[in-house]
């Protein structure tokens, strides 16, 4: 089931000193999951060539889809595009289409094309620049040997705009369609540990099913659990039916086991 | 400079499907940075034994301090403590002190000690359980060959309480004291690419200095930059003086280069 393994690479010192919360990774992880990919790693590394090269090499050996964010801008520590070339073992070239994109943005305001700006057009030979409708640094799409690697800027609105405009369609078209369904069950009054065997039992229904409980209250004093039920399948109806069935079975087993002690309700999955 | 390299490992499927934003990692990264550690990786992995074992082994080979969050609870997919033992190549044992902690929490409310709950007391031989003042799963502290490994629960308020109560004092006491200073300069009216050479120049002042610009406005239309200036040093005064000096030099060079075009102000660093 699914379209393959995805890794998300987050480049930027601000993530490693805790200045910035990695919302980009969560946004991308959700997108990739709903597109049918299985995200196996999110790795944040500093703006250092050695670290970026290393993590790209690891990802290239393990993932079908690799998405990076950060390090495409004009400042000296924006080096993700160059480090990616190094990870591939190729010399970066100035992509003429990318250069045109960058030039247009600056020239419209009368700014010259400095070497710092030209750097934003450098990528591996054969890569495709992705227009940035919001900022100046183009994204980079590199397909090779059945793998897709996408480099996106770190500014969230730029990253999101490029992903939705130019990456999502590419990823959606690869492999069979995959749909993702989910529901949340809210259970009050029963500690997580007592619910665990029930979850384990229900998960046996189907390998495409995944159930996880998240404690929201205080385990012992006032237990409150959110149980997330997920399924993916090649058609939407099957995914939704599987989640429905699992929710029904969960309720049934919880009531059989805890009776009135368990207060069960459903809540809308946040998306 | 600094106390050594830290890796943060975040365990949990919810991070890889984008259900949860990894605020734990940002919180820990900020704490570790201010304690003088250099965080080089934040790696999120799913609740799968193979993945957790792999990332612990990588971290053990590379970091002086490894902190994990998630996977210490009573449900079947909480397996971080067991996977950590596997990464070390040791058999997990029931730690009697931890078992007492877990037992007390449940017995106070009349809940029995099930195998799921006993699992929360399992750790490598020689590890030290860390009391959880908020929830039920103890943290785990493991010191070996000069390295410190800490396993914390994934629920933020539990993770924070254990870290502040029992981990921070241990990390603070290791190696020389290190202080971290920071200021933010706000620059309006000049594109990031034009500020880049100035930043590069000022960073040459001292290797303990790190400066990074973050574009907040629209690079070309209405450029707005936050320039973060950081320094770490073995005494607080030196760190602060270095940041002061860098801020002064930055202002001077920006005014020399851009004159009235650049609108410069300072803002309080958020902590």
B114-151 pLDDT per residue, tens: 888 899 999 999 999 999 999 999 999 999 888 999 99
Tell me whether residues B116 and A197 touch, CB distance under 8 A.
yes
Structure tokens that stand for B156 in this block: 């933020």
Chain B: residue nearest A155 by CA?
Answer: B215
- A262 versus B140: the higher-pLDDT residue is B140
Q: Which residues in A lie closer than 8 A to residue B223 (C-beta atoms)?
A: none
Contact at CB, A18 and B40, closer than 8 angstroms: no
pLDDT tens column, A219-239: 566 788 999 999 988 888 999
How close is the nearest chain B Cα to the Cα of A127, in Å?
23
Q: Is the pLDDT of residue B179 over 90?
A: no
Shortest Cα–Cα distance, A266 to chain B (Å): 17
- Beta strands (DSSP E) in B139-178 are 139-144, 147-152
Out of B18, B26, B106, closest to residue A27 by CB: B18
Q: Name the residue among A84, A73, A82 with its Cα closest to residue A9.
A: A84
Q: Is the distance from CB of A45 to CB of B41 less than 8 angstroms?
A: yes
- Tell me the backbone φ, ψ of residue A255, rounded to 5 degrees: -70, -40
Confidence category of residue A108, pLDDT binned at 50, 70, 90: confident
Residues A15 and A32: their CA atoms lie apart, in Å, by: 21
User: For residue A1, is pLDDT > 80?
Assistant: no
Chain B residues inside the 8 Å CB shell of A74: 191-193, 196, 219
In this prediction, residue A144 carries a pLDDT of 86
Say whether B191 and A111 touch across the interface (CB within 8 A).
Answer: yes
Indicate whether B1 pLDDT > 60: no
Percent share of chain A, pLDDT over 90: 68
- The mean pLDDT value of chain B amounts to 91
Contact A74, A120 (CB under 8 A): yes
This model of the complex carries an ipTM of 0.86
Q: How far is CA A40 from CA A9, A61, A145, in A?
A: 11, 13, 20
Return the residue in B2, B13, B26 with the most chain A beta carbons within 10 A, the one to mutate for interface testing.
B26
User: CB under 8 Å, gap of 24 or more: what pairs does B212-215 form?
Assistant: B212/A13, B212/A14, B212/A47, B212/A75, B212/A77, B213/A75, B214/A14, B215/A73, B215/A135, B215/A155
Tell me if B41 and A45 make a contact (CB, 8 A cut-off): yes
Pick from B44, B51, B76: CB nearest A196: B76
- Three-class DSSP category at B69: strand
**Chain A neighbors of B30, CB-CB under 8 A:** 17-19
What pLDDT was estimated at residue B176?
Answer: 77
CA distance B134 to chain A (A): 8
Structural contact between residues A33 and A25, judged by C-beta atoms closer than 8 angstroms: no
What phi and psi, each to the nearest 5 degrees, are found at residue A141? -115, 125
Minimum distance, in Å, between the CA of residue B116 and any CA atom of chain A: 6
Q: Which residue of B has its CA nearest to A216?
A: B155
- DSSP 8-state symbol, A222: B
d(CA B155, CA B164): 14
Structure confidence by residue, pLDDT tens digits, B5-21: 999 999 999 999 999 99
- Chain B residue whose CA is closest to A50: B40
What is the full DSSP assignment across B256-271? Answer: HHHGGG-EEEEE----
Per-residue CA distances from A25 to A73, A79, A221, B42, B55 (Å): 18, 19, 34, 12, 18
Pairing between strand B147-152 and B139-144? Answer: antiparallel
Closest of B3, B81, B80 to residue B46, by C-alpha:
B80
Whole-model pTM?
A: 0.86
Tens-place pLDDT, residues B33-75: 989 899 999 999 999 999 999 999 999 999 999 999 999 998 8
Is residue B221 within 8 A of residue B253, CB to CB? The reply is no
Calculate the alpha carbon distances from B240 to A196, B182, B235 in Å. Answer: 51, 7, 9
- Report DSSP state, residue B218: B
Q: Do the beta carbons of residue A190 and residue A223 sit within 8 Å? A: yes
Task: Determine, for residues A212 and B21 on separate chains, whether the beta-carbon distance falls below 8 Å.
Answer: no
Q: 3-state class of A103 per DSSP?
A: helix
Residues in chain B closer than 8 A to A39 (CB atoms) = 16-18
Helix, strand or coil, per DSSP, at residue B224: strand
Going by C-alpha positions, the residue among A135, A159, A124 that lies closest to residue A74 is A135
What's the rounded mean pLDDT across residues B76-92? 96
Q: Do B74 and A192 touch (CB under 8 A)?
A: yes
Give the pair of three-digit tokens for residue A1.
């089931």
**pLDDT (0 to 100) of residue B108:** 83
Percent of chain A surpassing pLDDT 70: 96
pLDDT at residue A93 above 60?
A: yes
CB contact under 8 A, B18 and A40: no
């Amino acid at each position: 089931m699914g379209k393959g393994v995805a890794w998300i690479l987050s480049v930027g010192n601000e993530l490693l000193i805790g200045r910035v919360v990695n919302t980009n990774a969560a946004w991308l992880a959700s997108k990739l999951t709903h597109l049918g990919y299985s995200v196996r790693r999110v790795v944040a590394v500093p703006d250092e060539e050695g670290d970026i090269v290393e993590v790209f090499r690891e990802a290239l050996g393990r993932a079908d889809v690799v998405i990076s964010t950060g390090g495409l801008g004009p400042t000296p520590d924006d080096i993700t595009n160059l480090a990616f070339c190094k990870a591939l073992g190729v010399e970066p070239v100035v992509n003429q289409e990318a250069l045109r994109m960058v030039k247009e943005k600056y020239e419209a305001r009368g700014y010259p094309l400095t070497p710092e700006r030209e750097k934003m057009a450098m990528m591996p030979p054969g890569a495709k620049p992705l227009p940035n409708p919001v900022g100046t640094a183009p994204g980079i799409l590199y397909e090779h040997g059945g793998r897709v690697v996408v480099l996106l800027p770190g500014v969230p609105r730029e990253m999101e705009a490029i992903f939705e405009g130019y990456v999502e369609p590419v990823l959606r078209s690869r492999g069979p369609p995959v749909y993702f369904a989910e529901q949340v069950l809210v259970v009050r009054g029963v500690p997580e540990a007592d619910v665990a065997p029930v979850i384990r039992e229900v998960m046996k229904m189907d390998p495409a099913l995944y159930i996880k409980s998240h404690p929201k209250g205080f385990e012992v004093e006032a237990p409150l659990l959110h149980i997330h039920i997920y399924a993916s399948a090649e058609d939407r109806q099957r995914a939704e039916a599987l989640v429905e069935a699992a929710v029904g079975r969960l309720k049934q087993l919880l009531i059989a086991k805890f009776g009135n002690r368990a207060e069960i309700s459903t809540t809308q999955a946040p998306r």
